[in-house]
Amino acid sequence: MKIHNFSAGPSILPQEVLKKASEAVIDFNNMGLSLLEISHRSKHFVDVMENARALALELLGLQGKGYQALFLQGGASMQFVMAAQNLLEKRAGYLNTGTWSTNAIKEAKIYGEIVEVASSKDAGFNYIPKGYSIPSNFDYFHCTSNNTIFGTQMHKFPKSPIPMVCDMSSDIFSRELDFSKFDLIYAGAQKNMGPAGTTLVVVKEDILGKVSRKMPAILNYQEHIAKESMYNTPPVYAVYTSMLTLEWLKNLGGIKAIEKVNEMKARVLYSEIDLNPLFKGYAAKDDRSMMNATFTLGNDKLKETFETMLKEAGISGLSGHRSVGGYRASMYNALPLDSVKALVEVMSELEAKA
């Protein structure tokens, strides 16, 4: 049976990427050796790292614009720390739109004063705040572009008078943006780019080196840039698989092409959520995420029937986060439209049975 994978992360990857990545575990580049057992300093893997970094910049439209791409470890949670350690001298402004921005704020407070310029906590983070101002005397402004748990997404970004830092873990490479508006972007790989184990960091070099504190070399962006993202042994499999996914995306036509597919998937699912009286969306309509649709089933008596139908249809990974409940359909780049249509068919059949 075909399994429709709506997992929020680690999440679905393109089948052709999984095939190539699995082959490399046995025999990489016809070397007679596994990708997992060659030196990360060998030309074979150095080429992988260089290609992955170059593809990231190319797809984001940032080549030749003073940015560096790094593949680091520790997940986006490590970037909550590194961003503040490398950029925060006195105070910074944070937009609080959910669990991950709350965690980022907590970590940044270790290094300086953090001001929440706006928050949607008052409504259970079901919307994106608007109309806030960003003080020009802060060191930087931090936001989270997409909120997996609550199903909200920033569809517009403020014009920031200071460097703008963005956690794009769950929607990077999914839609066209002017990425040059951002001075630092970070994203865990395990949503739209690869397996868990590496984090993409894209940073504009001229914002670095301005804090007075001493920091460990392994937490210093400039050290990682100087070592071409090879300061220590990188997560070779995660980087390689991310490179394959970026190649897959480029061959599809890049971000512009995948955005059209993502818009269609979101339109099909949200239409069913709005038209089917059994379901209700969680996020405010204007702020709904293309990547993570959150919704609830109004009648608890139908829960068992619905989940049996989902299982029979091969639909996996639909449970909502424990802090919200209900259901969450994650529609990352590699999820085909047919999977969304399969989910909608089950939802429609449930209405017919009720």
Dihedral angle of Cα 60, 61, 67, 73, to the nearest 10 degrees: 20
* Cβ–Cβ under 8 Å, residues 342 and 6: no
Q: Is position 167 annotated as part of the catalytic site?
A: yes
Neighbours of 290 (CB within 10 A): 23
**63/180 Cα distance (integer angstroms):** 10
Catalytic residue among 100, 139, 204, 265: 100
Amino acid at 324: V
Q: Is position 106 annotated as part of the catalytic site?
A: no
Catalytic residue among 183, 191, 265, 287: 191
Amino acid at 150: F
Catalytic residue among 139, 167, 171, 287: 167
Q: Is position 100 annotated as part of the catalytic site?
A: yes
**224/125 Cα distance (integer angstroms):** 35
Query: Closest by alpha carbon to 335, among 19, 22, 13?
Result: 13
**63/35 Cα distance (integer angstroms):** 28
Give the distance from CA 36 to its chain's centroid: 25
Catalytic residues: 100, 167, 191
